[in-house]
Amino acid sequence: SKDLQIAIDGPASAGKSTVAKIIAAKLGYIYCDTGAMYRAVTYKALQDRIDLTDEQAVMQMLSDTKITFIPGEPVQKVFVNNQEITKEIRQPEVTNSVSTIAALQGVRKRLTVDQRKLAENGGIVMDGRDIGSTVLPNAQVKIFLIASVDERAERRYKENIQKGITTDLETLKQEIAVRDQKDSTRKVSPLTKADDAIEVDTTSMNIEQVVAKILEIVAKKS
Compose the 12-31 pattern: x for residues touching ligand C5P by CB under 6 A, - for all others. x-------------------
* Residue 197: closest CA among 143, 134, 129, 128: 143
Does 5 interact with ligand C5P (rule: CB under 6 A)? no
Among 40, 52, 98, 136, binds ligand C5P (CB under 6 A): 98
Q: Which is nearer to ligand C5P, 70 or 222 (CB)?
A: 70
Does 130 interact with ligand C5P (rule: CB under 6 A)? yes
Q: Which is nearer to ligand C5P, 185 or 222 (CB)?
A: 185
DSSP states of 57-120? HHHHHHHT--EEEE--SS--EEEETTEE-TTGGGSHHHHTTHHHHHT-HHHHHHHHHHHHHHHT
Stretch that binds ligand C5P, among 48-56, 122-130, 157-165, 166-174 (CB under 6 A): 122-130
* Length of the chain measured in residues: 222
CB 160 within 8 A of CB 222: no
Q: DSSP code of 134?
A: I
- Contacts (Cβ under 8 Å, ≥6 apart) of 94: 39, 42, 43, 46, 88
Among 6, 8, 78, 99, binds ligand C5P (CB under 6 A): 99
Stretch that binds ligand C5P, among 23-31, 59-67, 97-105, 214-222 (CB under 6 A): 97-105
List contacts with ligand C5P (CB under 6 A): 12, 34-35, 38-39, 98-99, 102, 128-131, 179, 183
